[in-house]
Chain A
Amino acid sequence: MIADPIVEFSLFCFRYESRKEATLEDISLTIKSGEKILIAGPSGSGKTTIGNCLNGLIPHSFKGVGSGRLNVAGFEPASTDLYELSKTVGTVLQDTDGQFVGLSVGEDIAFALENDARPRNVMLTAVSRAASLVEMSDYLNRSPFALSGGQKQRVSLAGILIDDVDLLLFDEPLANLDPATGELAIELIDQLHRETGKTIVIIEHRLEDVLHRPVDRIILIDRGKVIADKSPDSMLADGTLAAHGIREPLYLSALRLAGGSLKVEDHPASLDSLNLDRHRDNLISWFDSRPVAVERPHQPKLLTVDGILYSYDGEFTTLDKVGFSIESGERISLLGENGAGKSTLAKIIMGLIKPDEGNLSWLGNNITRENISERSRKIGFVMQNPNHMISQHLIRDEVAFGPRLRGVCEADVTERVESALRTCGLYPFRNWPISALSYGQKKRVTIAAILIMEPQLLIMDEPTAGQDYFHYTEFMEFISKLNRESGLTILLVTHDLHLALEYTERSLVLSRGNLIADDPVPKVFADSELLIRASLKPTSLYGLARKLNIEAVDEFIAHFINSEEAVRSG
């Protein structure tokens, strides 16, 4: 089938008005009608800018200087009305809350038709058709506050399908979803692609999760340039992705750790298609050579959480008698789907909310009655969104904020600030205004601002949200170093399984307010039934071990973690 190109960039350059350097340089690429494309690249690579060029937000909402040629479905976005373009290109934004403008599902789906001043009876039929495409027919009267992130995303999608657009653009569709919901989203996109034949462009850096369903091509963007544009098989075989800050699928990492090299003929694009013939012996002998596991010596119990019960409204329990303990120097992940009660538990540990029942103790002393400021001397809390933490104008002042509040003398403050900034790799920027930093750099500022208070336990809420592999590896590495060198205890609150696998030894799994597991990471990750129960799908390492007929899946995962860690820390 020879299809017409729907998108053509040729030697396209773009520079935002507020920036000195070009964000896109000499982009040349073609997308054919009906193709399904993944645009991958690290944060700040320009991949979102490409998306904004397609939907016309550039140059209509974001001003800047462009050159070269761009053609989208026969239009030149720069000289086309944004509204006309929106009938051809439908965009599902990353922020599912921001995109949901209506006060009910039906109303939000109808939004584009309302703006077209279509009569109400036309809207009613169109809405019910679009809602059934995304399986949200039973929710038409629901308010956005009663929907999960995944459901809001479906509504956004329906709101775009209602216009019968030719091209669907997804901007980081997995960013706010837990693993199981993300998998469903990818399946839905694939189903739409097969059923409607529309062109699909997915912008995402979580490569393995997108490849859960096949794509036609991957376009790799870095520093504003097209680095590679080829089939998933050949992209994954040659290993260019890792060099550009994209995490390759875990099963391929395992293959490489075992000393194998990949070819296109191995069909590495998905675990199902992967031909293991050339690699089986390699992997088995790698697995058999694993060292005997050494158990970590026990340390004093730093924090003990006992029988915590909490309810927001006095009617429904958010946490139901949760209990566990954390030893000094441990690295723990608190896992669970969105809404499982993870953040609530973290807030109770911090003292931000008081539990209805239960006790907390710190090194054997009951701290249930201690207030936030007493607890904040022991426990540091890094929130998910750095913009919620930053309250000062200059980086230096932001980091100095905590010690100053505690009345540390100015000479000491300066010294501590400089050392904290050095640890976090921010020293060169110390006199910069925070507004000049990227999201990832802001996150590092907030980490520095907490580390300066010298907590013994560091809690991080969804540290990888809005971060790509390259950038989160950077700050997680120095946090791990603090753990190794000064015994900092770490609790990561997350639904990112890669993160838990890479940086923690033990996992606590919450599901609907109950603690359903408290075990070493390899054991949790080898228990597919447990993971599914907590809306956290098993990783591809599990699938790979199964494909190799390995019984001791947990040992396979443990060996993978240890080998990878050895590679990472050099």
Chain B
Amino acid sequence: MNSLRISSTRKKPYGVDKSKLTFGLSYIETGSPLHRLSGFTKLVLFLWWITLILTTFDLRVLTGFFIVGIVLLSMAQIPFKVYRPFVFFMVYIVTLNSLFIYLFAPLQGPEFIGSHTELFVLTKRYVVTLETLVYLAVIAVKFLAIFPMSLLFVFSTHPTEFAASLNKIKVPYQIAYAVSLTLRYLPEITKDFINILHAQQARGVDISRNVSLRKRIRNIASILFPLILSSLEKADVITNAMTLRGFGKGHSRTWYNARPMATGDWFVLAAMAVWTVPHFIIRASIDGLFWYPF
């Protein structure tokens, strides 16, 4: 999406056609303080964040994480329109998830919490209790609290910085680099795919609903075959190019995009360490899994 923007400076003479705007889930440079953190810090923060959220069922703590997550995401200065579709998608998933938990196990909440405060009765099977509401809220907020941090991580960590930080936490660099290579060549393969699709369509290959399913599957095969061949060919070229520039010779490598640890990084890591202690104290102080004051 960015490439089109930069390669062309011609403004369309009439209004913007919204139907053609595309959205991507990838790194966006905004120069915010979060972008300036090292990839290692962000990776550790992301893993720490998920671990702590998964280990607690305390609505207060989860809400806190959610709010901090939203604040951090807004600090990253990513335009809302970039991730708006993901927000809708997330809300949809969370709603659906809660609905189905309730439909299949309406008394899950009271069972876990160990009390039963009836609010109102829908049918004989479907009773709404306060415990149910708390239980469903915990599940929903767990998802919602992970969500802003995931977006933040994806939008603010350059893929090779991510690879560098994987390498820093002892993932072999050949594997770590594959992450960055995938992101590098995925758009190229998409481009090939569209070219091949067009080439086959121009010869009369129909993959629309106009033909029978069996024929459609066969026709899709006529697109996959050249795609696989051309991708393998590309892989050969890339392998040679990388070998010629010394990839794979040493036991370790350095990373141009790895940011050195700065004050900000130490501050974030310290903040994580500081919160970890009370987090588990609160966790231990509750009887059972759920925080339930009523």
Residues on A facing B (Cβ under 8 Å): 55-57, 60-61, 81-83, 86, 91, 93, 95, 97-104, 106-107, 110-120, 123-124, 127, 141-146, 148, 159-160, 311-318, 320, 339, 347, 350, 352, 356, 372-373, 376, 380-381, 383, 385, 387-392, 401-402, 405-406, 449-450, 453, 512-513
Q: Is the CB of A373 within 8 A of B206?
A: yes
Contacts A107-B160, A376-B202, A387-B233 supplied; 18 other A-B pairs, CB < 8 Å: A82-B244, A98-B241, A101-B238, A101-B241, A103-B184, A111-B256, A112-B246, A114-B253, A115-B253, A116-B246, A120-B258, A123-B256, A142-B6, A315-B20, A317-B13, A388-B196, A389-B196, A389-B226
Contacting A146 at CB < 8 Å: which of B6, B240, B245?
A: B6
- Chain A residues contacting B233 (CB-CB under 8 Å) are 387
- Chain B residues contacting A102 (CB-CB under 8 Å) are 160, 184, 256
- Chain B residues contacting A144 (CB-CB under 8 Å) are 184
**Given A146-B7, A405-B205, CB of A114 within 8 Å of CB of B255:** yes
- Chain A residues contacting B246 (CB-CB under 8 Å) are 83, 86, 112, 115-116
- Chain A residues contacting B201 (CB-CB under 8 Å) are 352, 372-373, 376
Closest 6 pairs (CB-CB, A-B):
A314-B17, A314-B20, A98-B237, A145-B3, A110-B256, A115-B246
Q: Is B263 an interface residue (CB 8 A)?
A: no
Q: Is the CB of A143 within 8 A of B4?
A: no
Residues on B facing A (Cβ under 8 Å): 1-13, 16-22, 29, 158-160, 180-181, 183-184, 187-188, 192, 195-196, 198-206, 221-223, 225-226, 229-230, 233-234, 237-250, 252-258, 260
- Chain B residues contacting A119 (CB-CB under 8 Å) are 254
Q: Is the CB of A356 within 8 A of B17?
A: yes
How far is A101 from B245 in the complex, measured between Cα atoms in Å? 10
How far is A391 from B20 in the complex, measured between Cα atoms in Å? 31
Q: Is the CB of B254 within 8 A of A352?
A: no
- Chain A residues contacting B187 (CB-CB under 8 Å) are 145
Q: Is the CB of B222 within 8 A of A391?
A: yes
Q: Is the CB of B254 within 8 A of A314?
A: no
**Given A315-B16, A405-B205, CB of A93 within 8 Å of CB of B4:** no
- Chain B residues contacting A124 (CB-CB under 8 Å) are 256
Q: Is the CB of A450 within 8 A of B203?
A: yes
How far is A365 from B18 in the complex, measured between Cα atoms in Å? 32
Q: Is the CB of B12 within 8 A of A118?
A: no
How far is A318 from B3 in the complex, measured between Cα atoms in Å? 13
The closest CB in chain B to the CB of A353 belongs to: B198
Q: 17 A–B contact pairs at CB < 8 A?
A: A104-B158, A104-B160, A115-B246, A117-B252, A118-B254, A120-B255, A313-B5, A313-B22, A317-B11, A347-B198, A352-B201, A372-B204, A385-B195, A385-B230, A389-B196, A389-B199, A450-B203
The closest CB in chain A to the CB of B11 belongs to: A316
Quick one: which of B9, B180, B241, B260 has the most chain A CB within 10 A?
A: B241
Q: Is the CB of A390 within 8 A of B256?
A: no
Q: Is the CB of A115 within 8 A of B226?
A: no
Quick one: which of B246, B247, B250, B252 has the most chain A CB within 10 A?
A: B246
Quick one: which of B201, B206, B247, B256 has the most chain A CB within 10 A?
A: B256
- Chain B residues contacting A146 (CB-CB under 8 Å) are 2-3, 6-7
The closest CB in chain A to the CB of B241 belongs to: A99
Contacting B257 at CB < 8 Å: which of A107, A116, A318, A449?
A: A107
- Chain B residues contacting A390 (CB-CB under 8 Å) are 226
Q: Is the CB of B204 within 8 A of A406?
A: yes
The closest CB in chain A to the CB of B13 belongs to: A317
How far is A127 from B240 in the complex, measured between Cα atoms in Å? 22
How far is A380 from B201 in the complex, measured between Cα atoms in Å? 11
Q: Is the CB of A513 within 8 A of B20?
A: no
Q: For the complex formed, measure the closest distance between the CB of A455 and the CB atoms of chain B, giving whole angstroms.
A: 10
**Given A159-B245, A387-B233, A391-B222, CB of A317 within 8 Å of CB of B20:** no
Q: For the complex formed, measure the closest distance between the CB of A80 and the CB atoms of chain B, giving whole angstroms.
A: 13
Quick one: which of A98, A106, A317 has the most chain B CB within 10 A?
A: A98
Q: Is the CB of B7 within 8 A of A388?
A: no
The closest CB in chain A to the CB of B180 belongs to: A103
Q: For the complex formed, measure the closest distance between the CB of B202 and the CB atoms of chain A, giving whole angstroms.
A: 4
**Given A102-B160, A350-B202, A352-B202, CB of A117 within 8 Å of CB of B12:** no
The closest CB in chain B to the CB of A160 belongs to: B245
- Chain A residues contacting B192 (CB-CB under 8 Å) are 388
How far is A81 from B249 in the complex, measured between Cα atoms in Å? 10
- Chain A residues contacting B247 (CB-CB under 8 Å) are 101, 111, 115
Contacting B256 at CB < 8 Å: which of A95, A120, A449, A513?
A: A120
- Chain B residues contacting A317 (CB-CB under 8 Å) are 10-13
Q: For the complex formed, measure the closest distance between the CB of B86 and the CB atoms of chain A, giving whole angstroms.
A: 19
Q: Is the CB of A117 within 8 A of B160?
A: no
How far is A317 from B7 in the complex, measured between Cα atoms in Å? 12
**Given A119-B254, A372-B202, CB of A103 within 8 Å of CB of B183:** yes
Quick one: which of A61, A313, A402 has the most chain B CB within 10 A?
A: A313
How far is A547 from B196 in the complex, measured between Cα atoms in Å? 47
How far is A381 from B253 in the complex, measured between Cα atoms in Å? 47
Q: Is the CB of B159 within 8 A of A103?
A: yes
How far is A141 from B230 in the complex, measured between Cα atoms in Å? 29
Q: Is the CB of A115 within 8 A of B245?
A: yes
**Given A101-B241, A388-B196, A388-B230, CB of A312 within 8 Å of CB of B250:** no
How far is A390 from B188 in the complex, measured between Cα atoms in Å? 19
How far is A117 from B252 in the complex, measured between Cα atoms in Å? 7
Q: For the complex formed, measure the closest distance between the CB of A320 and the CB atoms of chain B, giving whole angstroms.
A: 7
Q: Is the CB of A387 within 8 A of B226?
A: yes
